[in-house]
Amino acid sequence: MDLTILNDKQLEAVNHVNGPALVIAGAGSGKTRVLTHRIANLIFKHGVSPYRILSITFTNKAANEMRERVEELINNDVRDMWIGTFHGVCVRILRRHIEKLGYDRSFVIFDADDQKVVIKESISDLQLNTNDFDVNSIRSLISQQKNNRINPDLFLKENSGDYRSRKIAEIYQLYEKKLKKSNGLDFDDLIVKTIDLFERHEDVLNYYRQQFSYILVDEYQDTNRVQYLLVKMLGKNKSENENVFVVGDEDQSIYGWRGADIRNILGFEKDFPDARIIKMERNYRSSQNILEAANKVISHNTQRMNKDLWTEDKKGDKIQLYQANSEKAEALHIAERIYNEKNIHKTSYEDIAVLVRTRAQTRSIEERFVMEGIPYRIVGGQEFYGRKEIKDLMAYLKLVQNNHENYSFMRVVNVPKRGIGKKTIEHLQNISDEKGLSLMQSVEALQAGEISKKAWQELGAFRKRITDFTHKSKEATLYDLIEEIFIESGYRGFLEKDKTIEGRARLENVQEFFSKVKDYEEKNAEDSLEDFIAHISLLTDIEKTEDSEGERVTIMTVHSAKGLEFDVVVIAGLEEKMFPISRDNDEDLEEERRLFYVAITRAKKRLYLTYAQDRMIYGSYESRKKSRFLDELPQKIMNANTKHHEIGITRKEEDVFTGGYVTKPPQESEKSHKEGTGPIFSPGERIEHKKWGLGTVVQVKGDEITVAFKEKGIKVMMMPYAPIEKV
């Protein structure tokens, strides 16, 4: 292990062994390196067994990378090390002990969509109206309560004053009951139940307290109250050392709305008075100009420790600011920038990111990229696992794993259509309510004649199939099981029948899913069906986005970009009410500013900022003001312009087809080629013009060829006469 590559601060952190420590790791200061080296150091130099190390990361991906890097450093496997997200680690603990809390160890995880279904059902069970009780806000309210360890009873006690709160308490109560009945835990429960477990069963707590001699927590600024409690339970007041080593950056705390409490990091010294504090301020990522911008912006915040990033890197390019007329013009400008990056700076697409504040902004950018043929990927969004066909298959899996899981039952009992309709389901639910049975058990209890003959037959067959799958799941491999479900459930036939483009895409998605399953199986041979399901549930957006092969520009929210870095970053939509999105109070504004800070510090070499004067909001145009954050940037390192087309494309309207290059070949161009005598050109091809230099074919129509030249803009020529050649 080579420690000479570390700077003084990093070395101090790596060599820290016993006692609590807080590492303030500024953006790009080599935090991951410190974490991996410290773990390697503990194992290698201090003989700590990997099994005694608990390392908590923000994503599973980060966990995997960390494990791999440690293994490289010490040239040994660290399979026994506990490493994962808070949620992942808690699942692992709960799988072992949750029976002590009256759950079955095969519990299922309810994601946000699942939660909504349950909440909706609860609202209607209570004869309430979803107009008065918004599902989304109730979901986040429940989440908030859980993160503060407020159960329904306590919530009621604290809010019994008004009618509305009492009703919400009832919904919360019913929601909990339903979850428990389905043997389900939501995301927050994973942490909360682990704490409950530790509280009620001291022996279990002591077991883990003893096991985890060394605890590391990454992204500590984004821990919420219960996560904080968990860390304290495991790491505080130990007979041996309180070896809690947390790494974070208060300036990058961006999850306050999710319950993350910046005070956890700001107050670490209070919790651990003899903690060692190490500040890492040297940045290895960005140019001086970018850092200066970041420092200046964040200095407007009050909720922070004093910290200034510095670098030995060169000044670098100025920051480019662009004011567009509309979100469409903004998107066009971004496309042009990317065109330039690609062609002038030779930047690879994968080194470019477009960051936005809200998901809705991705649409116009995506549209323009499609038009210009710029390859991209959107993180999150309608991601892979959110697609209907994948969710359906997952629901089948969940139902196979646990036949009594009612929500999965409801989801797939009539998918593909089997003539089991609303009436039948209602009837089943009545039986279920009366006799306290699961829906699957209610099918068994059903008497012939109670429902239509067809539904009766189909339900019987459905039940048999699911139980057969369950038997099969005990011996077959995951892949074989899922394949059998796909075929035998009739889902494959159903998809194959659909000859539309969407139908085909669905089938392809399922194929993709199968290859992911295979992949998972190879990597996690010992894992069970429930491990697989939990694994999928706990993936983050970044992880869920297909790592599509090939070079692509990444479009994503700033939140998703946390922890990543790119040569070139575009931040779009820098307008009031967008970024910052709200300014209800100073605290919110500071979090918005931190978010902007995170966005800026993703960039290594070049940073482009854009905003629009008018933006389409809910279908009509609204006039916008530029973001106050722009005024907080040091003007001397900025390069602002409003009308600017470096690649020399001339055009009047922003919506006119322009600019980029690789476009989809129009059908008719094929024909014209055959008739021509000269060389055949097709859109996307690079050509050279005798006089105008390099360009890219945009469109071919009859004898007319449209070419975008680097210097001269768009030109239309007659193919047989133009002095052009393929490059």
Partner DNA sequence: CGATACGTCCTTTTT
Partner DNA sequence: GGACGTATCG
Residues near DNA (CB under 7 A) are 58-59, 85-87, 111-112, 130-131, 134, 136, 140, 143, 187-188, 257-258, 357-360, 380, 414, 417-424, 455, 538, 540-542, 557, 559-560, 581-582, 588, 616-619
Q: How far is the CB of 613 from DNA (least distance, A)?
A: 18
Conformational region of residue 278, where left means phi above 0, alpha means psi within -120 to 50, and beta covers everything else: beta
- The helix/strand/coil state of 575 is strand
Q: How far is the CB of 582 from DNA (least distance, A)?
A: 5
Q: Is the Cβ of residue 482 or residue 495 nearer to DNA in the bound state?
A: 495
DSSP-derived letter for residue 310 is B
Q: Is the Cβ of residue 111 or residue 249 nearer to DNA in the bound state?
A: 111
Q: Is the Cβ of residue 43 or residue 378 nearer to DNA in the bound state?
A: 378
Q: How far is the CB of 164 from DNA (least distance, A)?
A: 16
Q: Which residues contact 317 (CB under 8 A, 6 or more apart)?
A: 287, 289, 605, 606
Q: How far is CA 212 from the centre of its chain?
A: 29
Report yes or no: 113 and 385 within 8 Å, Cβ to Cβ.
Answer: no
Q: How far is the CB of 596 from DNA (least distance, A)?
A: 12
Whole-angstrom distance, CA of residue 327 vs CA of residue 614: 7
Residue 77 identity:
D
CB atoms within 10 A of CB 202: 10
Q: How far is the CB of 456 from DNA (least distance, A)?
A: 12
Q: Is the Cβ of residue 187 or residue 272 nearer to DNA in the bound state?
A: 187
CB-count burial class (<10 Å; 0-12, 13-18, 19+) for 266: middle
Query: β-strand 704-709 against 693-701: which pairing, if any?
Result: antiparallel
Report yes or no: 169 and 150 within 8 Å, Cβ to Cβ.
Answer: no
Q: How far is the CB of 25 from DNA (least distance, A)?
A: 19
Up-side HSE of residue 489: CA atoms within 13 Å toward CB? 27
Q: Which residues contact 558 (CB under 8 A, 6 or more apart)?
A: 254, 355, 356, 357, 571, 595, 596, 598, 599
Q: Is the Cβ of residue 560 or residue 601 nearer to DNA in the bound state?
A: 560
Whole-angstrom distance, CA of residue 409 vs CA of residue 403: 8
Of 579, 35, 571, 526, give the one whose Cα is nearest residue 320.
571
Q: Which helix (DSSP H) or strand (DSSP E) does residue 694 occupy?
A: strand 693-701
Q: Is the Cβ of residue 99 or residue 586 nearer to DNA in the bound state?
A: 586
Q: Is the Cβ of residue 421 or residue 436 nearer to DNA in the bound state?
A: 421
Report yes or no: 175 and 119 within 8 Å, Cβ to Cβ.
Answer: yes
Q: Is the Cβ of residue 241 or residue 358 nearer to DNA in the bound state?
A: 358
Report yes or no: 602 and 571 within 8 Å, Cβ to Cβ.
Answer: no
Q: How far is the CB of 668 from DNA (least distance, A)?
A: 26
**What are the residue numbers of the active site?**
31-32, 218-219, 252, 602
The string of DSSP codes covering 336-403 is HHHHHHHHTS---GGGEEEEESSGGGHHHHHHHHHHHT--EEESSSS-GGGSHHHHHHHHHHHHHH-T
Q: How far is the CB of 616 from DNA (least distance, A)?
A: 6
Whole-angstrom distance, CA of residue 150 vs CA of residue 161: 17
